[in-house]
Amino acid sequence: MTKNWPTFLQNNSRHPETVAEAVDRLMVLLSGEEKLAIALMPEEDLIDLRFTLGMAIRNAFGLHSEESKLLDSCNQTLHPEALYNSVHPDDVSGVIIGELWRRLQG
């Protein structure tokens, strides 16, 4: 699922800062076959992607960094009352995968 990533990431070294930007990048990175496979999955099966696509997202988009603007953006969306980052990188990659799936639906 990640064969196109090294070249793309080298050319786009800045990490995405919002979920929408992350999904935009995935739409470029993923092959047509990969996008079709994700689009055909039932929404409740997206959790099965957490150790493949989810891990690639967490690593490539810098979600383990405390300075991640994408992590901050999701934290503010999911927990606006929180004074610190209470969202986990796994949660953020799940949100991104869910938004990718929704975009692929229509």
Q: What is the pLDDT along the chain (106 residues), one digit of tens a residue?
A: 666 666 665 666 689 999 999 999 999 999 999 999 999 999 999 999 999 999 999 999 999 998 899 988 887 777 666 656 678 899 999 999 999 999 999 8
- Residue 2 falls within a domain, yes or no? no
Per-residue pLDDT, 106: 85
> Total domain count for the chain?
1
Supply the pTM of this predicted model: 0.83
End-to-end CA distance of the chain: 22
- Residue 6 falls within a domain, yes or no? no
- Residue 3 falls within a domain, yes or no? no
Q: Tell me how far apart the alpha carbons of residues 64 and 94 are, in angstroms, rounded to a whole number.
A: 14
**Which domain does 25 fall in, by range?**
19-105
Per-residue pLDDT, 61: 94
- Residue 64 falls within a domain, yes or no? yes
Per-residue pLDDT, 74: 83
Q: Tell me how far apart the alpha carbons of residues 20 and 25 are, in angstroms, rounded to a whole number.
A: 9
- Residue 78 falls within a domain, yes or no? yes
φ/ψ (deg, to 5) at 10: -65, -35
Per-residue pLDDT, 5: 65
Per-residue pLDDT, 67: 87
Q: Tell me how far apart the alpha carbons of residues 102 and 15 are, in angstroms, rounded to a whole number.
A: 22
